[in-house]
Amino acid sequence: MMQPETERRCAEITRQGYTVIENFLEADVLAEVRRVLTRYLGSHAGRNGFEGLNTERVYTLVARARVFWDIVLDARIRALCERFLLPNYLLTASQAIQINPGEDAQPFHSDDSFHSIPHPRPMISLSTIVAVDAFTAENGGTNLIPGSHVWDEAARRGLSPFGDTTEIARYNYAGQAIALELPPGGCAVFSGTLVHRGGANASPHPRLGFSNQYCQPWARPQENFFLGVPVEVARQMPPELIALLGYSIHPPFIGQLTASHPAKALAPDYQNRVALQARMVGADLPE
């Protein structure tokens, strides 16, 4: 049975496309997140208008510090995933985003638009955005359009992260959007079909946040965590987390590893089954 708070948040996501958890991170957890991210900021500038040419991104957070393990596994977020996604859902993205002063607004988009299934439709992913710095209308706080998670294809026609901005402007998405304001440690959880963007930063200070996103177990994740998370790091993770990274099976056998469970690949003595069988029969790979 759902807890009342979970029921309320699910109802808000169903009705408006998003919900807010204002006190998501305690002060000590927030301080540890900031400490870790400070090490990596400056390592990856945006490469286009969608990433943001004056925006810094740090990908694969789940590989970088244990604090992100606990955040990915937060019970409040997992309760929402269990409501909107199938069992065996996956982590699809884990990244920090720092919007620097002078950055333009990002193009409007939705997070699961990678999946070309016509709208309206149920979400394929569920996103979180957590404020490390306060999110305000001035400093690049997320702009979102309440109710846009149920738009049909006609209403979404102007959405294209790399599209013609003049054509996109015809749809007046900005006029329908609100600026999401969050305190440090606050979190917004929203449908992968909700239309939103990172706002312009007209303030003199950077705006730092991070996003963990989850997807249906049959969908291809945005980040390839098999390659992005070093094996020696994955071996230290709790079973619930490595399952979210894809070391799991969605029945009957999506995700199997040569007819075996993929988590076996993390065992210290693991030997690739194809290579082992080839040696046994005296075959070269590839023949």
Query: Which pLDDT tens digit goes with each residue over 119-142?
Result: 999 999 999 999 999 999 999 999
Domain locations in the chain as residue ranges: 4-223
The pLDDT assigned to 41 comes to 93
Q: What is the pLDDT of residues 28-41, one digit of tens each?
A: 999 999 999 999 99
Q: Which of 71-80, 143-152, 163-172 has the weakest average pLDDT? A: 163-172
Looking at CATH, the fold of the domain delimited by 4-223 is given as Jelly Rolls (2.60.120)
Q: What is the pLDDT of residue 166?
A: 56
Predicted pLDDT at 167: 54
Half-sphere exposure of 283 (CA within 13 A, CB side): 10
Residues 6+ apart with CB under 8 A from 256: 249, 262
pLDDT of residue 227: 97
209 exposure class (CB count in 10 Å sphere: 0-12, 13-18, 19+):
buried
pLDDT value of residue 49: 73
Is residue 245's pLDDT more than 60? yes
Long-range contacts of 166-175 (CB under 8 A, 24+ apart): 168/107, 168/108, 173/108, 173/145, 174/105, 174/108, 174/143
* pLDDT score recorded for residue 83: 98
Q: Any idea how long the chain is?
A: 287
Using the CB atoms, write b or e for 96-131: b if 16+ within 10 Å. bbbbbeebbbbbbbbbbbeeeeebeeebbbbbbbbb
Stretch 205-222: mean pLDDT: 97
Work out the average pLDDT over 151-164. Answer: 78
Average pLDDT in the chain: 94
